[in-house]
Amino acid sequence: MSTPVSLILNINTMAIFFTRDNFVLAFPLLAVCSTYAFFKFIPLQYGLPVLGVIALTLKARNKIIESRSTDEHIDKTIVQDLVSDEDALIAKQNEKAQKKLRKSEQKLRERLKAERRNTANKKKEAADEDDDGEIITAFAKGARGKKGR
């Protein structure tokens, strides 16, 4: 009589041997042995129709899955058509926002250029005023300043 603890231990030790890696390595041998046993112990008059039914069932299942996936695709296109109007409005709003942003950036650049020009002009005017003062003092001295030296 086995206790639940011993059953759990047996299952755990079996898990060591029955892993996915071991199954992948043993699958070709299992397939060959299963095929041999099927044709050895089941007569052909029963075995071939069973294989045919299994093949047709798998093919029908694949077609059903494929048709459902195309139905979903059709549903997605219908939904996309219905939502496309809203997407167009959102795209227009985004485009308007982008234009406003570009315009504001352009205005800012123009303002900065104007300020730079103004500061450059002020510096130039200040330099011109300094030059004017020197020219006036030289004119006021006249020729007298040169004879004295």
The domains of the chain are located at 1-41
Residue 47 · residue 38 · CB < 8 Å? yes
Handedness of CA 94, 95, 101, 104 (dihedral sign): negative
pLDDT-based confidence at residue 100 (cuts at 50, 70, 90): very high
pTM of the model as a whole:
0.34
| pLDDT tens per residue across span 27-80 | 999 999 998 998 899 988 998 899 999 999 999 999 988 887 766 666 677 777
Total residues belonging to the chain: 149
Tell which wins on pLDDT, 13 or 28. 28
Structure token pair of residue 136? 């006036």
10: Cβ–Cβ under 8 A, 6 or more apart, which residues?
A: 2
Give CA 103 to chain center in angstroms. 30
